[in-house]
Structure 1
Amino acid sequence: MKVHQVDAPHGRKGLVKMWEPEGFPFEQQAVDQIDNVARMPFIHKHVAVMPDAHAGIGATVGTVIATKGAVIPAAVGVDIGCGMMAVRLSIKGAQLPHKLGHVREAIERAVPHGRGTPQQIQTGRDPGSWGTAPHHHRMAWAGLRGRYERIIAKHPKAAQQGAAGERQMGTLGTGNHFIELCLDEQDNVWLMLHSGSRGLGNKIGSYFIEQAKEEMRRYHIYDSLPDGDLAYLVEHTTLYDDYMEAVGLAQDYATENRKSMMWAAVQALRQLADQGRLPNFVVTDEAVNCHHNYVTKEAHFGANVLVTRKGAVQAREGTMGIIPGSMGTGSFIVRGLGNQDSFCSCSHGAGRVMSRTQAKKLITLDEHAAAMKGIEARLDADIIDESPRAYKPIGAVMDAQADLVEIMFRLRQIVNVKG
């Protein structure tokens, strides 16, 4: 762990604690963003930086920000509640068929993924959403709808178009979201996925980020911020309360979205088993469902604070979490060690070393195919920005946080579904 101080207004000092992976120093843009956050007047103790950190919007992805009396909506971001879920199945990799294309296709049919054109979205034919959601998913949305409607009644501009909350329940999305079939070191089969609150959370996050900026302008604070995207909402104000209510709803939506996708993917595999195309199985008790983009109330260093994990996983002592690598380098099921300096947190992945634009320019399709050898996956130009070379080596990231988590299972993917 590295520690450094930054100068802050009014003679204060901001403190930063960083878990930087050996051989992969954080880029200067990310360090500048971290230092800007540390300068904010309501930071509690220090800013903790995870080994997968890379530049984001306002705040660096891979930071843990504990605050007293304020919250920064852009630090939480717009992919509110994004996170991971994994379950272990009662079968071994040796029992699986040699070719797994039918498994990928079955999952792709069961879980809408990707994003359609603007015209498709407007006309309700978006391949990344349901036309009519399955009954199971509609029931998951029904448990959240009342809370959502109360929020939108107060903030109608935070609403999605149409019935998107229902139509996107149990859907994957795009970017780095995925569903994978994996094997651990004992050849056990795992089903794992990564997604969040979809358009509902994006709209809520975007709306309240702008509201925070308006608040800063109203009180003549905006121009003094080190970065306009660090605009904040102050505790005991109506807007703060409404944001916390809305972000809590989006985080719960993300949890239910992952559960719904997992249910659908398991059902798809069971159908293949019924057809004799996979061995019969049950889902074991080994299951993890965790956020890595969220805000929550916790106690640290003797104070009750808000903890924003922008690309970080809670790692309290004994708490289970998931740290995915890239789409070609495997993942880890971990157990937290409760390191107080990290606010009981760990990384949420490998962390990018290339922007999406850079990756598309520098990585060829042949290089991507070679990196994905042995994995049943799409191999087209649309996912070059997610190729393994665009990410830090997950081994270096895990080595840098040996004092944050204990590795329980190492997983390697054999099937990958991308949005």
Structure 2
Amino acid sequence: MGNLKTKELTQIGYADNKQRSLAVNMIAKHFKHYSKTEAINLLTGIRQQPDAHLNNAITGKIAETFISKIHEPVSASYELKDQHGPLNIFGEENIEPSAIKQMELALKLPVSIRGALMPDAHNGYGLPIGGVLAVKNAVIPYGVGMDIGCRMALSIIDADERFLKRYTHQIKQAINDHTHFGIDGGLSESQYHEVLDSPVFNQTTLLKKLHGKAIKQLGSSGSGNHFVEFGLMAFYEDNALNLPPKQYFALLSHSGSRGLGANIARHYTQIAMDTCKLPREAQPLAWLNLDTEAGQEYWLSMNLAGDYAKACHDRIHANLLKALGLKALSQVENHHNFAWKDTLPDGTEAIIHRKGATPAHAGELGIIPGSMATPAYLVMGKGNGDALQSASHGAGRATSRKEARENITGSAMKKMLTDAGVTLIGGSLDENPSAYKNIETVMAAQQQLIEVQGKFYPRIVRMDNE
């Protein structure tokens, strides 16, 4: 049997190092003749019914770690700290004061360690969008957000503007036929991805119920600022992908975990609020301790939602490239609504929430979009500890959706797109380019955090027509 990987153990609920170490050692010593599937089934059974294994000389030690976690207080009340923890703000002059206040409030939680605000930050629910928060052994569902695992995916294609001009009609047809946007529904053609076979779907009652929705919505995109777009990519010299610095055709998508992630978020946010009592202004920041059953379930479900979001992008890109007879030279992708187990610069282990922020560890690639009419940036992280190894996840909204609708007419938006050389399929006034901060200003405010590798210029964009 091949070695069980950390990610595989995490997916079945082995959430801490002690459990994973016990599991790996037990399998290697007593069940080395097992296949990987048999080993995972055994470990899953121990987690699901630890009582049945308590008196077993071999499996009892692992069972004990789950028993102790389940028998914890159902509900507890907490007070906020008098002073907020350390906070670093990037591009503060373009961040609304209410978003900063939200971040300062989050840093008064007893579990908070430190935080950072990215230059695209704006007001959100719970944590601000663009907020990065490190906490001790806990996860805040609204610190991750409703769209768990919302992410970017970029395929670089060995073609250029000539392909775009020659096959404009076919590109529009493909993007119409092979994408779906909106809260409900999915693609007309049945989709498959190995994530649908994940044993994690059988781990909780909620996930079992959501499996059918996940099947139906695979390969589709949400509403709001989610998009699928074709455009042109220009690389800088000596880029991290080692691609010649010439023009490429490219496909860029932005979407998340659909109904699966939204239902997980709602379910565990309610549990967190019911069991973690905070002062009223901080109640949306209720957390789940990772040493509790609910905390383990959320962590398991969150990771599955992240894998599912990736699967949706995989299908979008595979379907579109196949329809156009194209192949990707290289692909880059990243989450920006998620929580990770990570180590702070001082060596402290923490859970880092990035709600609308891009992971930017040293050498890590990510994508930061602007708007439907402005460039997206391919970037490489510098591992800046003050930013908790993060960067912005986009340009960030400059106005509310209501203000965006009131501030521009359909004809003015159409002219703006025409001037930018962009064809829009669907879309709404909510997402017009003027509703967003200036992406160049945002990028200039985070030069300490990332190094630009190339720029993507949107040309044919599809979004939800809300």
After TM superposition, the score normalised by the length of structure 1 is 0.84
Tell me which residue corresponds to 1:395: 440
User: Counterpart of 1:73 in structure 2: which amino acid?
Assistant: P
User: How much has 1:105 moved relative to structure 2?
Assistant: 2.5
User: How much has 1:243 moved relative to structure 2?
Assistant: 0.9
Checking the alignment, whether the CA contact within 8 Å between 1:195 and 1:258 is kept in structure 2 is: yes
Which digits, 9 at most, give the CA deviation of each residue in 1:11-70, with x for residues without a partner?
444221100165x2x1132122111111111112x2110000011111100011111122
Are 2:103 and 1:34 aligned? yes
Candidates 201, 210, 220, aligned match of 1:148: 201
Change (3 A) 1:47 1:64: same
- Structure with greater contact order relative to length (CA < 8 Å, sep ≥ 6): 1
CA distance in 2, matches of 1:99, 1:87: 18
Candidates 112, 116, 120, aligned match of 1:52: 120
Are 2:106 and 1:61 aligned? no
Q: Which has the larger radius of gyration?
A: 2
Checking the alignment, whether the CA contact within 8 Å between 2:389 and 2:449 is kept in structure 1 is: yes
Structure 1: where are the runs of 5+ without partners?
1-7, 117-125, 271-280
Q: Where does 1:164-313 land on structure 2 (aligned, <5 Å)? A: 164-185=213-234, 186-216=246-276, 221-222=277-278, 224=279, 226-270=281-325, 281-284=326-329, 286-300=330-344, 301-313=346-358
Which digits, 9 at most, give the CA deviation of each residue in 1:217-256, with x for residues without a partner?
xxxx33x254221111123111111111111111111111
Tell me which residue corresponds to 1:86: 154
Question: What count of residue pairs does the alignment treat as equivalent?
Answer: 372
Higher alpha-carbon deviation: 100-109 or 51-60 = 100-109
Helix, strand or coil at the partner of 1:326 = coil
User: How much has 1:139 moved relative to structure 2?
Assistant: 3.6
Are 2:89 and 1:18 aligned? yes
Change (3 A) 1:35 1:131: same
User: How much has 1:411 moved relative to structure 2?
Assistant: 1.1
User: How much has 1:138 moved relative to structure 2?
Assistant: 2.1
Structure 2: where are the runs of 5+ without partners?
1-78, 235-245
User: How much has 1:132 moved relative to structure 2?
Assistant: 5.2
CA distance in 1, matches of 2:332, 2:290: 32
Helix, strand or coil at the partner of 1:50 = strand
Candidates 352, 361, 365, aligned match of 2:410: 365
Tell me which residue corresponds to 1:386: 431
Which digits, 9 at most, give the CA deviation of each residue in 1:107-138, with x for residues without a partner?
1201222345xxxxxxxxx3xx13551xxx32
Candidates 384, 400, 406, aligned match of 2:451: 406
Checking the alignment, whether the CA contact within 8 Å between 1:88 and 1:189 is kept in structure 2 is: yes
CA distance in 1, matches of 2:273, 2:81: 22
CA distance in 2, matches of 1:325, 1:10: 37
Which digits, 9 at most, give the CA deviation of each residue in 1:350-376, with x for residues without a partner?
000111111112121122112211212
Change (3 A) 1:159 1:228: farther
Tell me which residue corresponds to 2:57: none
Checking the alignment, whether the CA contact within 8 Å between 1:79 and 1:197 is kept in structure 2 is: yes
CA distance in 1, matches of 2:145, 2:273: 14
Which digits, 9 at most, give the CA deviation of each residue in 1:290-345, with x for residues without a partner?
10000111111211111110001111111110000011111000011111111111
RMSD: 1.9
CA distance in 2, matches of 1:66, 1:28: 21
Helix, strand or coil at the partner of 1:79 = coil
Helix, strand or coil at the partner of 1:389 = helix
Q: Where does 1:120-131 land on structure 2 (aligned, <5 Å)? A: 126=185, 129-131=186-188
Helix, strand or coil at the partner of 1:412 = strand
Change (3 A) 1:196 1:11: closer
Checking the alignment, whether the CA contact within 8 Å between 1:104 and 1:376 is kept in structure 2 is: no
Change (3 A) 1:260 1:11: same
User: Counterpart of 2:271 in structure 1: which amino acid?
Assistant: Q
Checking the alignment, whether the CA contact within 8 Å between 1:169 and 1:260 is kept in structure 2 is: yes
